[in-house]
Amino acid sequence: MAPAVIPSLTKLGCSVTVETGAGVAAGWPDEAYTEKGARIAASRAEVFAEADVILQVLCHGANDRTGRDDLKLFRRGQTLIGFLRPLGSPGTVKEVAETGVTAFAVEMMPRITRAQPMDALSSMGTVCGYKAVLLAADTLPKLFPMMVTAAGTISPAKVLVIGAGVAGLQAIATARRLGAVVSAYDIRPAAKEQVQSVGGRFIELGLEAKDAQDQRGYARAQDESFYQRQRELLGQVVAESDVVIAAAVVPGKRAPVLVTREMVARMAPGSVIVDLAAERGGNCEVTVPNQVAVVDGVTIIGYFNLASSTPTHASLMYSRNLAAFLQHLIKDGQIVVDMEDEITRETLVARDGQVVHPRVLELLVSSPAQATA
């Protein structure tokens, strides 16, 4: 949590305790929190012991390194809010539920107007899309903008963005600001106008996707024959691009492979692919999870959690999202779980020792192995 949001929480009647050193990487020493009225706890365990509400970035399920260590610190009746990766790791949601906490997964926030200030997934997508382009520009052995110089005219770089969600749209806008020629593709028909609104050229492949998006506005998974035809048609566009930003994800599913090894081989040496879907399996067939790989002279960047590489503003945006969510949940100084409210109902994943979100329950039933993961 950024120090700037502490006053908004105290106005709700909350006292705020911060783990010592929690803000250092984002540029906020402990003193920045105490100046805003927060108390600094000497250890993580102390925070868990005294807090009624735990605010985290990556909770167990989203945090594969140390998330499990938190399970023993929870107590029944506590409220947990953060990224829990409920559709990707339903078994870990079950483990969280068994501690007795009331858990809200921020990535399940509905895409409705009144929930926009609470939409942490969009905030992090914005940061990732921006940073992906900067990584690509830094790696590409070419300049992004067209330049007219005494040594002649420099042609602009060609950037292709696959997947025009929040991250993809920010990538388009950022690449355009750097002077690149930007094209984009998405299976959702509604994406065309959005791509054009930020200065991109929308690529139409002549493929008709069945039920291209769900009620939340996210892309739906398609069958393998669709993806095969899609790859065939995208091949030439990828080959002509200097940079590919791949940001095509389907909630709860493995990311579709849209850029094959053969497509990579057709790209010019020095080209760059930034695979924002790497954590979900990758849109590029040769992406190495959380690493940089060079294949046939093409650099493929598969880093996880790019938002953490811009910690100050990523944290500030996330803090504002969580503060808005708490303002929604807290009534008269208490967390109120109103199941008639869409925001509360859609984000609540665990309560009273049970997994309660229908989509997570469905995954647990259909994939018993994940339930015991």
Report pLDDT digits (tens) over 158-197. Answer: 999 999 999 999 999 999 999 999 999 998 888 999 999 9
Structure confidence at residue 369 as a pLDDT band (50, 70, 90) = low
The pLDDT value recorded for residue 41 is 97
The answer to whether 162 touches 287, Cβ cutoff 8 Å, is no
Q: Which of the residues 15, 116, 236, 366 is marked catalytic?
A: 116
Domain-ending residue, one of 309, 325, 342? 309
The pLDDT value recorded for residue 187 is 85
The pLDDT value recorded for residue 217 is 55
Residues 164 and 282 occupy one common structural domain: yes
Residues 174 and 135 occupy one common structural domain: yes
Q: Which amino acid is at 98?
A: E
Residues 48 and 25 occupy one common structural domain: yes
Q: Is 367 a residue whose pLDDT tops 80?
A: no
Tell me, yes or no, whether 110 lies in a domain: no
Structure confidence at residue 335 as a pLDDT band (50, 70, 90) = very high
Structure confidence at residue 220 as a pLDDT band (50, 70, 90) = low
Q: Which CATH number belongs to the domain containing residue 262 in this structure?
A: 3.40.50.720
Arithmetic mean of pLDDT, 337-349: 97
Tell me, yes or no, whether 285 lies in a domain: yes
* Catalytic residue check, 280: no
The pLDDT value recorded for residue 355 is 98
* Catalytic residue check, 116: yes
> CB within 8 A of 262, min separation 6: which ones?
235
Specify the number of domains making up the chain: 2
The pLDDT value recorded for residue 372 is 47
Tokens coding 351: 């309560």
Q: Which of the residues 39, 111, 176, 266 is marked catalytic?
A: 111
Q: Which of the residues 8, 176, 177, 218 is marked catalytic?
A: 218
Residues 160 and 238 occupy one common structural domain: yes
Q: Is 210 a residue whose pLDDT tops 60?
A: no
Domain-ending residue, one of 264, 293, 309? 309
Residues 190 and 304 occupy one common structural domain: yes
Task: Calculate the alpha carbon distances from 192 to 184, 185, 315 in Å.
Answer: 9, 8, 31
Residues 235 and 324 occupy one common structural domain: no
Name the nearest CA neighbour of 129 among 317, 325, 297: 317
The answer to whether 230 touches 206, Cβ cutoff 8 Å, is no
The pLDDT value recorded for residue 219 is 58
Q: pLDDT > 70: what percent of the chain?
A: 94
Residues 169 and 236 occupy one common structural domain: yes
CA 267, chain centre distance (Å): 27
The answer to whether 245 touches 132, Cβ cutoff 8 Å, is yes
The pLDDT value recorded for residue 233 is 83
Residues 287 and 242 occupy one common structural domain: yes
Structure confidence at residue 208 as a pLDDT band (50, 70, 90) = low
> CB within 8 A of 11, min separation 6: which ones?
none
| DSSP per residue, 195-243 | HHHTTPEEP------TT-B-TTSPBPP--HHHHHHHHHHHHHHHHT-SE
Q: Is 1 a residue whose pLDDT tops 70?
A: yes
Q: Of the ranges 149-153, 194-198, 363-367, which one carries the lowest mean pLDDT score?
A: 363-367
Residues 130 and 276 occupy one common structural domain: yes
Residues 305 and 316 occupy one common structural domain: no
Tell me, yes or no, whether 115 lies in a domain: no
Residue 193, H or E segment? helix 191-197
Q: Is 209 a residue whose pLDDT tops 70?
A: no
Structure confidence at residue 212 as a pLDDT band (50, 70, 90) = low
Residues 347 and 366 occupy one common structural domain: yes
Q: Of the ranges 95-104, 209-218, 246-255, 275-284, which one carries the lowest mean pLDDT score?
A: 209-218
The answer to whether 195 touches 164, Cβ cutoff 8 Å, is yes
Give 292's strand partners: 301
* Catalytic residue check, 291: no
Arithmetic mean of pLDDT, 235-240: 94
Specify the higher pLDDT residue, 28 or 190. Answer: 28
Q: Which of the residues 78, 85, 89, 122 is marked catalytic?
A: 122
Structure confidence at residue 232 as a pLDDT band (50, 70, 90) = confident
Q: Is 98 a residue whose pLDDT tops 50?
A: yes
* Catalytic residue check, 218: yes
Tell me, yes or no, whether 106 lies in a domain: no
- Residue 338, Cβ neighbours under 10 Å: how many? 13
Arithmetic mean of pLDDT, 29-45: 97
Range of the domain at 163: 125-309
Arithmetic mean of pLDDT, 146-159: 96
* Catalytic residue check, 39: no
- Mean pLDDT, the chain, integer: 93
Tell me, yes or no, whether 107 lies in a domain: no
Helix/strand/coil for 364: helix
Tell me, yes or no, whether 113 lies in a domain: no
List pLDDT tens digits, range 309-334: 999 999 999 999 999 999 999 998 89
Residues 30 and 52 occupy one common structural domain: yes
Domain-ending residue, one of 262, 288, 309? 309
Arithmetic mean of pLDDT, 61-85: 95
Name the nearest CA neighbour of 346 among 360, 354, 357: 357
Tell me, yes or no, whether 105 lies in a domain: no
Q: Which of the residues 70, 119, 186, 275 is marked catalytic?
A: 119
Tell me, yes or no, whether 154 lies in a domain: yes
The pLDDT value recorded for residue 114 is 96
